[in-house]
Amino acid sequence: MGSVLVRPPRDTLPLVGRVGEGVAAVLVALLLGAPAQAESFPDFLHAFRAKAVAAGIDPGVYDLSTAGLTPDPTIKTLVETQPEFTTPIWDYLDKRITDRRVSSGRAAIEANRALFAATGKRFGVDPYVLGAIWGIETDYGAVLDNPKLIKPIVRSLATLVYQKRGRLKADEADFIAALQLVQRGPLDARHLVGSWAGAIGHLQVNPSNVVAHGTDGDGDGKVDLQNSLADALATSAKFLVDLGYAPGVDWGFEVAVPKGFDYLLADRETLRPLGFFAERGVKRIKGQPFADLSLPVFFYAPAGARGPAFLMTGNYLVLKGYNFSDSYALSVAHLADRLKGAGDFVTGWPRDTKFPDLSQRKAIQAALIRLKLYAGAVDGRLGPVTAAAYAKFQASRGEVADGFITLQAYEELTAATQ
Ligand code: CA
């Protein structure tokens, strides 16, 4: 219990977020490359060859790409442990959306104005969303020249597969996809570069998704996300479209809710017409009317009743699909607005919130089980299921059922189950 040997999803560690942070505090870097088993790296490469060839990699391409390859000793096995303390969403946003990130982003988009406009028009994707992803992933390309961060990904991915971390299947798929990209060209294995996890180019797309969505943006007949911003933007725009991005639709709206609003309506499984919430007194935060009351949305209050609240559209879910994390999706959404000139969210974050530590989080889940409100694991991971269970507990006591689990939740549940 508690610590599981899995690699964190890439979304929680965008490349830029890693710069200056080192490895995030939730991660403990342990082994230096050596896997638990005794298999040597050359033996591993030899054994993997059949799998790659079966997946369509030309044996000659495999041999050329892996000849003389050694594991990258700087790629540590990242063992994700359950964080003792919760990182609040506002800390995540604060780190990624700084005044400098906004002003340098406006300048970078302005310097590529025609390209952003053309890409937005070609794919029906908000160019500022692409600009925001660019900023969050690579600081508008600034880190792409850093050889400590950007290296040949065939070697990186071979090292990761060799290490057999928790994401082995995804790593194998990306390793094979990287070989497919080499096979396809224009870049050979020495020149196909990306992050330690294999994500490529200005907007950091992993090889499997480059294979699936790679698009030539500058018309030279090749797809090169590292050296062509046009290709990177086109590929990510195509990726968003393939995920179901709806042209011309906002990611969502910050809203104000009336007193007594039923937070149990915060259910993203069911998107409801915007009018459903408007009828219940939900208004845009600055008082503008909603343009389209039939737009399907869901209600989301990531920091509970004391923080900003949103009505989110399907395009927010597309951003989450692009990189599976609410913190990431909200960062992209908000940075896109900031790049357009909008200010911070109107409602502030409840920065004085005290959060339960790991043992208290487990106690919360155990108490919810005792109250027959929760049937999941007691692992201290407070996901949407635990939040929904806690919201029911709040509702049963006549409290605002926002499901936002704070230290107070621990105290109340402890008292209620003693
Ligand atoms: Ca190209």
Distance, in Å, from the CA atom of 346 to the CA atom of 77, rounded to the nearest integer, reads 41
Antiparallel, parallel or unpaired: β 272-273 and 296-300: antiparallel
Distance, in Å, from the CA atom of 408 to the CA atom of 416, rounded to the nearest integer, reads 12
Confidence of residue 384 (pLDDT cuts 50, 70, 90): confident
SS3 per residue for 320-385: HHHCCCHHHHHHHHHHHHHHCCCCCCCCCCCCCCCCCCHHHHHHHHHHHHHCCCCCCCCCCCCCHH
Distance, in Å, from the CA atom of 47 to the CA atom of 284, rounded to the nearest integer, reads 58
Whether the pLDDT of residue 3 is over 60: the answer is no
Average pLDDT over residues 89-100: 96
- Asked if residues 6 and 195 have their Cβ atoms less than 8 Å apart, the reply is no
Distance, in Å, from the CA atom of 365 to the CA atom of 128, rounded to the nearest integer, reads 40
pLDDT tens profile 178-190: 999 999 988 999 9
CA of 210 to the centre of ligand 1 (A): 13
Confidence of residue 128 (pLDDT cuts 50, 70, 90): very high
CA of 125 to the centre of ligand 1 (A): 19
CA of 322 to the centre of ligand 1 (A): 22
Whether the pLDDT of residue 66 is over 80: the answer is yes
pLDDT at residue 79 in the model: 55
CA of 81 to the centre of ligand 1 (A): 40
pLDDT at residue 36 in the model: 53
pLDDT at residue 26 in the model: 34
- Asked if residues 308 and 301 have their Cβ atoms less than 8 Å apart, the reply is yes
Confidence of residue 5 (pLDDT cuts 50, 70, 90): very low
CA of 228 to the centre of ligand 1 (A): 6
CA of 181 to the centre of ligand 1 (A): 13
User: At 298, which amino acid appears?
Assistant: F
Q: Which two tokens stand for residue 344?
A: 């911070």
Q: Which two tokens stand for residue 185?
A: 């060209």
CA of 390 to the centre of ligand 1 (A): 50
Taking a 5 Å cut-off on Cβ, the residues next to ion ligand 1 are 216, 218, 220, 222, 228, 231
How long, in residues, is the chain?
418
Whether the pLDDT of residue 232 is over 50: the answer is yes
CA of 67 to the centre of ligand 1 (A): 28
Lowest mean pLDDT among 16-30, 197-211, 272-286, 313-327: 16-30
CA of 222 to the centre of ligand 1 (A): 4
Average pLDDT over residues 201-211: 97
Q: Which two tokens stand for residue 310?
A: 């949103």
CA of 13 to the centre of ligand 1 (A): 27
CA of 225 to the centre of ligand 1 (A): 8
pLDDT tens profile 295-343: 999 999 999 999 999 999 999 999 999 888 899 999 999 999 999 999 9
Instruction: Specify the 3-state DSSP secondary structure of 39.
Output: coil
pLDDT tens profile 341-369: 999 999 999 999 999 999 999 999 999 99
Q: Which two tokens stand for residue 262?
A: 């039923």
pLDDT at residue 77 in the model: 64
What is the pTM for the complete model shown?
A: 0.88
pLDDT at residue 10 in the model: 43
- Number of Cβ within 10 Å of residue 201's Cβ equals 28
Distance, in Å, from the CA atom of 8 to the CA atom of 200, rounded to the nearest integer, reads 18
pLDDT at residue 268 in the model: 82
pLDDT at residue 37 in the model: 57
